[in-house]
Amino acid sequence: MTEPLAPQYDPSAIEAPLYAWWQERGFYHVDANGAGEPYVIQIPPPNVTAVLHAGHGLNNTIQDVLIRFERMRGRRALWVPGTDHAGIATQNVVEKLLAKEGLTRFDVGREAFVERVWSFVHETGGQILDQLKALGASCDWSRTYFTLDADLSRAVREVFVRLHEQGLIYRGKYIINWCPRCLTALSNEEAEKEETEGRIWHLRYPLADGSDSLVVATTRPETMLGDTAVAVHPDDPRYAGLIGKHLRLPLVGRLIPIIGDDAVDPAFGSGAVKVTPAHDQTDFEIGKRHDLEQLNIMTPDAHLNDAVPERFQGLERFEARKRVVAEFEAEGRLVKVEPHRHAVGHCYRCGTVVEPRLSDQWFVRMQPLAAPALAAYRDGRVSFIPERQGDNYANWMENIRDWCISRQLWWGHRIPVWYCDAEGCHTTIVARETPTRCTACGGTVTQDEDVLDTWFSSWLVPFSSLGWPDETEDLAAFYPGTTLVTAPEILFFWVARMIMAGLEFRGEVPFRTVYLHGTVRDTQHRKMSKSLGNGIDPLEVIERFGADALRYTMVSGMAVGTDLILDPADLESSFAPGRNFANKLWNIGRFLLGHLEAGVAPIDTVAAVDLTLADRWILARASEMITTATQHYERYRLNDAVAAVYHFLWSDLADWYLEQVKPRLYGNVSGGETARAVAAHVFDIALRMLHPVMPFVTETLWKRLPGSGPDATISLAAWPVGADGRADAAALGDFGALQALVGAVRVLRAEYAVGPGAMVNVTVVDPSEAVQRAIAADADTIRRLAKIESLVVGAAPTEAGGTIVLDDRTTVIVPLGDLVDIEKECARLGGEAGKLEQLVSAQEAKLANENFVSRAPAAIIAKEREKLDAWRAQSATLREKRAALGCTD
RNA sequence: GGGCGAAUAGCUCAGCUGGUUAGAGCGCCUGCCUUACACGCAGGAUGUCGGGGGUUCGAAUCCCUCUUCGCCCACCA
């Protein structure tokens, strides 16, 4: 508290120790039975192997702003952190490490591999949580969870078993999205559709009797090797006679029937569709309806298997495509090839083109879970910001499809299903506790090989992180949560499913508000990504500019519902404003605190009569700022909130109030004590209002304010609520007049290049009421800030001077003798006059418009008349001045 | 193929329910190392609010349409 502050703020010296102190004091730990209404945010758990990127930076900054805001408002603010075991992603990382040793997971074996992943996670995992600390995230770290922890695994089993008991989980052979690289099934959400410039091949199939042929179109010709029918629309007259006949499948020679099915669109292509039930969703369904053979022609890694003619066996799928097309061409059966845009699924983890594959998988029946989740949105129990995201949610819920939850991975929650080993027993056990014996025959059992989709554990986090399935105190206190902050990309993966799980297992939505923020992009509006190399490393930004600067830029740069555009090639332009703001704050503090060491009186002990115009003004501005910034925080308009505080601190407090107050602090002038009290009071307010966005610098300065004490933290200080009773709106107008007067003199000084040290004389002619009051209240400040030797109110001086018409009456004249160029002055005033006259005539026309006068509200008309009067008066004054100067047009 | 969003100063963007002489930060120009801050201070320039039509007394703001970007969803082979 006593060592002097350096002239420049150095965040790197301050942030880490300060964070350590917060943590050591346990300020952000929240008990189940504390005081205050709970406010709960669940972090979107980052992958355990993740490294902090700009998206995390944005997401967690927003959460921290909200949690700090609510904490200061007296809520029992709990931010629950955790990491996700991220099945595919983590397994891939470890497999890559193995590959460097020339090994695959199959070489190592399941048990050893899982061991290996665990040790990898223990060694390097969770580093992102430390990186969040560098960002300033005020999580309750004592509650950190990992989705593969024993507790959360228990919740997963409980949910699986309950859903199974309710008949909502089933196993079956269906077409699923298969990643041939990761060798696992994916959910629909995990298969990312991308518009792709592809081709469509038209192939001719002959009738078995050779009498005729028809043409089918396909984007994946290699699948024809698995065709077991060709379908046409039953009402299509072109094919009316062909239904029931057979075709001879080229290259293979197999006989396949022509069938009629409503799913075929006669208008598309030739109106005939090759049917490959084992390799296409639609074809699978057609196949079911017609009892067609499901011929699987591919191995798990997408090579052709022995179900195809020998010459194709073992070919990789795209290689096979070329061969098939070539043979069709050679046989003269390739009718045409056309370019074709279509959506192709890609694995969301490795980008490989997904192969629809027929396989045995576990599914969750979603419709019964979706109905209540949709209702909760419709009746407002959960709402979205921005609102339009709710439509997305509703649309997905309405068209929900069953969720494929089994993954052919080793890293994850093993499916809690066991099969009896005994021949002929066929008993399947679905259980919370691992069984040792078959319940039917007492024989040995073997657990299902598959693990569950990662999201099958993360959708439970709002309650599993609080101890469920036990009815813990935490659960009672902190479920349901309040706000969820995340990126729109995981609306379906995670948000929608959490709502379903919350309703199903707790009977209540897991949070009331879902704030979906934008994406961080580069200046070409591309998403930041490792592969594009256009990312911004938040840790580098923190190192160079400070965490507060990073947070400031993220918050101020993004309005609700918009993306955040940053230039990775020019960090300076993005983050210097935040650094500069922190430095400004630091210097305000440096200046003020130096004057407060002797102690400062609490604001409520200051008598109203002792308050100067400037005091009353800054108090009034502080009140306004509290109201507007608080409203913006409440409405998630964080950019507006921080802008309001920024403007108050920089443009009001630093630029005007501190300048006004200097003599009172430095000199032996009366009013010093009042100035200190007011300055300390409004600075304290502003620090609190800014703390959610810039926690480090605000805490550092706040702790040095007299009265804070070494144990106090701004993060638990009360949120400023209201106006000081002595702040009055009149001060806003009067101090505004003072500012305008000073500004006018400064403009004239600049206009005529009056040297910075030179003093000028100023005559104010016919001052308005507000200007009169300003001069009466604080002529000293006006003189000092505008460097005025003598300030007089009276008639215009005879000496030539620069002139500014301030308002409808007031004229400010700075006599400058030879410095004044009359022609230039006339031109300048003429320009002003011209602008005003345009305004006046436009305004006159408006008020002469019968329609306007009769239809516009009275208040608007009155306002417009006032404007006209003011402009007319100002214009008249300008004319007079020009006449006095002898200006000619 | 559906659904949605965006187009405002050189750049990144505000402008919430229609009435401001259309704003901020950065950048740019001029002058200042004024004892809190040159990461600063004072002053300044820059916009037919994407094009066209409409509603209205009044439109950056509401409606239609076009253009250009972007996002989400979709089993048309």
A681 pLDDT higher than 90: yes
A188 pLDDT higher than 60: yes
Q: Which of residues 569-598 of A touch strand B (CB under 7 A)?
A: 573, 576-577, 579-580, 582-584, 587-588, 590-591
A701 pLDDT higher than 60: yes
Whether the CB of A810 is less than 7 Å away from nucleic strand B comes out as: no
A833 pLDDT higher than 90: no
User: Quick one: average pLDDT of A332-353?
Assistant: 88
Look at strands A513-516 and A483-486 and give their pairing.
parallel
Alpha-carbon dihedral of residues A716, A11, A132, A527, nearest 10 degrees?
Answer: 120
| Strand nucleotide closest to residue A871 (CA to C1') | B21
The winner for highest mean pLDDT among A235-239, A555-559, A584-588, A602-606 is A584-588
Whether the CB of A414 is less than 7 Å away from nucleic strand B comes out as: no
Average pLDDT of every residue of chain A: 90
Q: Which nucleotides of B are covered by protein (CB under 7 A)?
A: 3-6, 11-16, 19, 21, 24-27, 30-34, 36-44, 56-58, 69-77
Q: What are the residue ranges of helices labelled H in A691-768?
A: 695-702, 729-751
Q: Which of residues 309-338 of A touch strand B (CB under 7 A)?
A: none
Whether the CB of A357 is less than 7 Å away from nucleic strand B comes out as: no
Q: Quick one: pLDDT at residue A723?
A: 62
Whether the CB of A259 is less than 7 Å away from nucleic strand B comes out as: no
CA of A367 to C1' of B77 (A): 28
Q: Which of residues 656-685 of A touch strand B (CB under 7 A)?
A: 658-659, 662
Radius of gyration of chain A measured on its C-alpha atoms: 37
Residue at A39: amino acid letter:
Y
CB A655 within 8 A of CB A621: no
Whether the CB of A752 is less than 7 Å away from nucleic strand B comes out as: no
Whether the CB of A273 is less than 7 Å away from nucleic strand B comes out as: yes
Q: Quick one: pLDDT at residue A156?
A: 97
CB A863 within 8 A of CB A802: no
CA of A681 to C1' of B22 (A): 35
A152 pLDDT higher than 90: yes
Looking at residue A260, the DSSP 8-state letter turns out to be: E
| Strand nucleotide closest to residue A659 (CA to C1') | B36
| Strand nucleotide closest to residue A632 (CA to C1') | B16
A155-167, pLDDT tens digit by residue?
A: 999 999 999 999 9
| Strand nucleotide closest to residue A749 (CA to C1') | B43
CB A317 within 8 A of CB A302: yes
Bridge partners (DSSP) of residue A567 are none
**Among residues of chain A, what percentage have pLDDT more than 90?**
63
Q: What are the structure tokens assigned to A595, written together?
A: 């004057």
Q: Which residue is nearest to nucleotide B57 (CA to C1')?
A: A852
Q: How many CB atoms lie within 10 A of CB A614?
A: 25
Rounded to an integer, what distance in angstroms lies between the CA atom of residue A696 and that of residue A693? 9
CA of A566 to C1' of B53 (A): 37
Rounded to an integer, what distance in angstroms lies between the CA atom of residue A867 and that of residue A830? 20
Q: How many CB atoms lie within 10 A of CB A864?
A: 16
CB A582 within 8 A of CB A552: yes
Rounded to an integer, what distance in angstroms lies between the CA atom of residue A527 and that of residue A550? 18
A442-500, pLDDT tens digit by residue?
A: 889 999 999 999 999 999 999 999 999 999 999 999 999 999 999 888 899 999 999 99
A34 pLDDT higher than 60: yes
Q: Which residue is nearest to nucleotide B24 (CA to C1')?
A: A643
Q: Which residue is nearest to nucleotide B42 (CA to C1')?
A: A746
Strand, helix or coil for residue A123: helix
Residue at A226: amino acid letter:
G
Cα A352 → chain centroid = 28
Q: Quick one: pLDDT at residue A668?
A: 65
CA of A626 to C1' of B34 (A): 32
Rounded to an integer, what distance in angstroms lies between the CA atom of residue A210 and that of residue A472? 74
User: Quick one: average pLDDT of A11-28?
Assistant: 95
User: Quick one: average pLDDT of A755-782?
Assistant: 92
A407-426, pLDDT tens digit by residue?
A: 999 999 999 999 999 888 88
Decide: pTM greater than 0.90.
yes
Q: Which residue is nearest to nucleotide B39 (CA to C1')?
A: A580
User: Quick one: average pLDDT of A336-346?
Assistant: 87
Containing A263, the helix (H) or strand (E) segment is: none
CB A230 within 8 A of CB A216: yes
A870 pLDDT higher than 90: no
Q: Quick one: pLDDT at residue A2?
A: 47
Whether the CB of A281 is less than 7 Å away from nucleic strand B comes out as: yes
